[in-house]
Amino acid sequence: MIDISQIRADLEATLPAVVARSQISRYLGGCYTPATMAVYDSKGIGVKDPVRLSGQKIGYSKQNLIDWFIARLEAANAQKGNSNEVED
């Protein structure tokens, strides 16, 4: 089991200030692809306040990405009846 608070701390320590959507898989351990994030953004369920980096390139602020990711982990965990830990 992995502690969600530890995941948050690890992300806060390692993510750059802005994460490009094209690099999302790298920074979130392969949990989400750029295509998935684009769909979530178009449906309004993605990371809050995405930023246009240049042309078609989209990014997410570090804090908004962490908050979004942790909320998804907690929601998925709540369905299993355990809101503090995630299975490996």
23-53 pLDDT tens trace: 999 999 999 999 999 999 999 999 999 999 9
* Residue 26 counted as domain residue: yes
> Is 2 a residue whose pLDDT tops 50?
yes
Element (H, E) at 53: strand 51-54
Confidence of residue 14 (pLDDT cuts 50, 70, 90): very high
| Whether 74 contacts 83, CB under 8 Å | yes
* Residue 30 counted as domain residue: yes
* Residue 84 counted as domain residue: no
| Separation of alpha carbons 81 and 47, rounded Å | 25
Number of domains composing the chain: 1
| Separation of alpha carbons 65 and 49, rounded Å | 10
* Residue 2 counted as domain residue: no
* Residue 35 counted as domain residue: yes
* Residue 32 counted as domain residue: yes
* Residue 85 counted as domain residue: no
Beta-bridge mates of residue 3: 85
Confidence of residue 77 (pLDDT cuts 50, 70, 90): confident
Element (H, E) at 12: helix 4-14
Tell me the residue range of the domain where 54 lies. 16-78
Percent of the chain scored above 70 by pLDDT?
Answer: 88
